[in-house]
Amino acid sequence: MKKRYVPLIILALIVLLGFGLRFYDLDKENLWFDEGYTILSINQDNIGGVIDQAEITETKPSVYFIILHLWSEIFGLSMFALRFFSLLCGVISIILLYLLAKELFDKKVAILSALLISISLFDIIYSQEARVFSFFTTLTILSFFIFVKLIKGFVNKDSKKSSLFLYFFFGVVGAFLNAIHYFGLLIFLVQNIILLSLFYKKGTSLKRWFISQLIIILLFIPFLPKFITKFFWYNNILINIFINKWGLSSSVANLGIILFLIPIISLILTIFVVVRNWKKIVNFFFFINHNFLLLLVIIYFFLILIFVKSLYSPFFLTRYTLFLLPFLFVFFAYIISLTKKKLLRISVIVLIIILSFSSLQLYYQDITKEEWDNVSELISLKEKKGEIILFDSSSAIVPFDYYYQGKSKIMGLNTENNYSFPLLSSKGFWLILSHNYNDIDYYLEQAEKNLILDFNKTYKGIEVYHFSVMKG
């Protein structure tokens, strides 16, 4: 066997491993809250209906939901079918990360990078979820793979790595990133700052680069109105957080997102200085090569943006960091490859594998999503004619309705604490508590004051209560 085929064979085995880990128990877990909204958006008669529904229920652009709608037209709306799309994206990410790491460094770093993402618990979790994040991560890796090739084309004046087709393809990928999630704008920002810092006023023609960026901008225009709407929506959230949690005066708090411009501008200036003094920094840290410094700049930029966003969004540091992980994997793979002692390198890799599989074992054994199938089965078996199913959060109706086959009327309670339980008929009703973070136990307390509780059961993330006879 020729040595040149060995890395490809190893990569194929890693891809098969990654596929197996993502395929295992793919549909064991229930549809959960966010996936319910995915189905609500894509389960429409036509693409126009998908766009209209996504405008109502989603904060992201609609292209991902259009793609998943077309996918569901072929493969159906089962959890297995919908999650399999994310699974494929996760597997493709393994191959693309290999190509990116190989373009930056060498085959050894590329193989180790592919291994790290293939066994990553975090990546596997979102490869088993019918949401946009696995797809976005795949496109992010692809975008930076092309970006690195373009930079090398600039540096080496290599026409093959800076062909017009490659620029066009790069623009299309960038446009897709923006069209499936607004975080694509961060990718757009990072890449432009790095490239312009490197080549602006250095005798390099940037005409093709600007054409590719023009493609991204033009294709983003249809999504601009929704982006502006969401921008002001986030701005209002920030103002409330600044006043209620940070204790800022209203005059300062009303600046909203402008307050975050200071660290972002500082970040941009730092990036600019680092990239403009590329050679001096490399000479100072003589062991760091140009590509590794480029990788550090990318990671640094994303970490600062993530930190800024996390100041007002407690959920940001989970799903929204998924696209950063591939770069960290390449970073650690390169650091490990620098270790001269072979035994130490092998020991570190084995330790990472053991820790990864230990965490995966816990993940596969644990129930991580709400058990809506059990709740719907319970109610279907016990419900009586004329009963009502009440949800303390209307949003929780979506995943429940996916499994529910009964005939009881389903109602969502409002969030203004003015729903009067005594106005309900004396017939029994079910109260489902889940995902109501504002009113907590308000509705349960009101029901217990006026009605008799005759049954309750708790599931993962869900509390089920049944009330039957009116008191007094």
* DSSP sequence for 400-439: HHHH-----EEEE--SSS---GGGS-SS-EEEEE-S-TTT
Question: Which stretches of 285-430 are DSSP H helices?
Answer: 290-310, 316-319, 325-338, 342-365, 372-382, 397-403
Helix-helix angle 47-57:33-42, to 10 degrees:
150
For residue 90, what pLDDT is reported? Answer: 96
For residue 422, what pLDDT is reported? Answer: 47
From first to last of its 472 residues, the chain has per-residue pLDDT tens of 567 788 889 999 999 999 999 999 998 888 888 898 899 999 998 999 999 888 888 878 889 999 999 999 999 999 999 999 999 999 999 999 999 999 988 899 999 999 999 999 989 999 999 999 999 999 999 999 999 888 887 766 655 556 788 888 999 999 999 999 888 888 888 888 778 777 766 656 678 888 888 988 888 888 888 777 776 666 666 666 666 655 555 655 565 556 555 555 665 666 666 655 555 554 544 445 556 666 666 666 666 555 555 554 544 456 777 888 898 899 889 888 888 888 888 898 999 999 999 989 988 988 888 889 899 999 988 888 878 888 887 788 888 988 998 888 888 876 444 455 544 555 678 889 887 766 667 788 777 777 788 889 999 888 999 887 665 5
| The two three-digit tokens of residue 195, written as one number | 């490239």
Q: Which of 197, 102, 199 is nearest to 144 (CA)?
A: 102
What is the Rg, in whole angstroms, of the alpha carbon atoms belonging to the chain?
Answer: 26
For residue 257, what pLDDT is reported? Answer: 58
For residue 467, what pLDDT is reported? Answer: 86
SS3 content of the chain, % helix, strand, coil (to 5): 70, 5, 25
Q: What is the pTM of this model?
A: 0.84
Helix-helix angle 79-104:325-338, to 10 degrees:
40
Give the up-direction half-sphere exposure of residue 28: CA atoms within 13 A in the CB hemisphere: 12
